[in-house]
Amino acid sequence: MTKISPKDTDQFDNFVHKETTTFEDLTVFDRNNLAPISIDNQFGLIDKEGNVIIPFQYQKLVLTTVNAYSAQKENKWGIITKSNQILIPFEYDLTSDFIENICAVKKDGKWGFIDLLNQVVIPFEYDGCTDFRAGLAGVEKDGKWGMIDKNNQLIIDYQYEYLTPVDQNFATFGEATSLKIERPDILAYFPYFLSKENYLMHFGLISTKNEQILGPISELPILESFENQAVIRQNYQLGYLKNGKDFVKFEQFTIDPYEEKILTQLGVMK
C-alpha cells in the first residue's frame, strides 16, 4: 500500500504548513475516516496515516449518502465504493446522490433517475430536476418547472420558474424579481438564486395540490418551519413570519460588515 506525506500533495503550502503538518491539518475526514487529496490535480482517498486507499486517478470525488463516492473520470461521472469498485459506471454528465434510494443523473444533456443497480427508474427527459423528497421531485421542461412522483406522474404542471418539494404537503416555488444582477460572478459567492437571465429570484410556498400559501417573499427556498411558521430570509436575515405576516429575525444570525457593503452595492440588500 502506497503511503504519502502532506508535502506530496497539491494542498501543501510551505509558506503555511511545516514538515510536521499532518493530514488532519490539511483536510476533513469523512464518516469512512477517509479524505480526498489531490496530486497533480488528480484525486484519490487516503486514511489519516497517509495510506492511499483509492489511487489518484479521478478528477473529482464526493462522498454520497450510501458511503460510496461520486467520481469523475475522463469528464464522465460514476459512483465507486470505498475499495475502488465501480458501483455505477462512468457514463453520466453529472450525478447527484442516492436520496430515497434513487439518484438523479444527467446523460446526453437530459436528467433522469437511476437505482443502485443502474436501472433507469425515471427516463432521461428533463432539462433540470431536484432530488426526491417525500416521494416528490421538481422537474424542468422547456424553461418551466413542475413536480412528479416516483411513478413519473405529473403532480403539478409546468408553470413555475423553480419548484422543489418540502414534504408530502408543501413545495417551495421560485419567481424572478425585477432586479437584474449586473455582477452574477460576485453574487455567486453568496447564498442567492438567480434566474437564467440573472434576475434575482425570490421564493414562496404552495401546497402539493398547487394552492398558494405564501407569495414569493423569501430570498431562499422555504424548506423549514419554526413554531409552525415558515422560515424565510429577508434582507440577508433569517427569521420567520409571526401570524403569517410579521417578519421576526433570528438574532443569532449576523452579517459581516464587508459582506453587507458588497451586497448593498449589488442591490440585493436594503
pLDDT band at 262 (very low <50, low <70, confident <90, very high): very high
User: Cβ contacts of residue 91 below 8 Å, gap of 6+?
Assistant: 76, 78, 107
Fill in the amino acid letter for 184.
Answer: P
Has residue 186 got a pLDDT over 90?
yes
> How far, in Å, CA of 27 to CA of 20, rounded?
15
- What confidence tens digit (pLDDT) does each residue in 25-53 have? 999 999 999 999 999 999 999 999 999 99
Q: Which residue has the higher pLDDT, 94 or 228?
A: 94
Q: CA 169, 195, 229: angle at the middle one, nearest 5?
A: 30
The pLDDT score that the predictor gives to residue 96 is 95
Transcribe 100-112 into DSSP letters: TTEEEEEETTEEE
Name the H helices within 103-200. Answer: 184-187
The pLDDT score that the predictor gives to residue 243 is 77
State what percent of residues in the chain have pLDDT above 70: 100
| Cβ atoms 197, 212 nearer than 8 A | no
In Å, how far are 12, 140, 179 from 160, measured between CA atoms?
46, 9, 18
The pLDDT score that the predictor gives to residue 172 is 97
Region 175-202 average pLDDT: 95
The pLDDT score that the predictor gives to residue 199 is 97
Judged by DSSP in three states, 57 sits in strand
Strand partners, 242: 246
Highest-confidence segment of 10-19, 136-145, 239-248 = 136-145
> How far, in Å, CA of 152 to CA of 269, rounded?
40
Strand partners, 230: 225
> 1-92 — its CATH code?
2.20.25
User: Cβ contacts of residue 37 below 8 Å, gap of 6+?
Assistant: 4, 9, 10, 11, 23, 26, 27, 43, 44, 45, 46, 56
Domain boundaries defined on the chain:
1-92, 166-270
Judged by DSSP in three states, 186 sits in helix
* Measured torsion, CA atoms of residues 176, 177, 180, 181, in degrees rounded to the nearest 10: -80
> What pTM, to 2 d.p., does this model score?
0.88
Strand partners, 156: 147
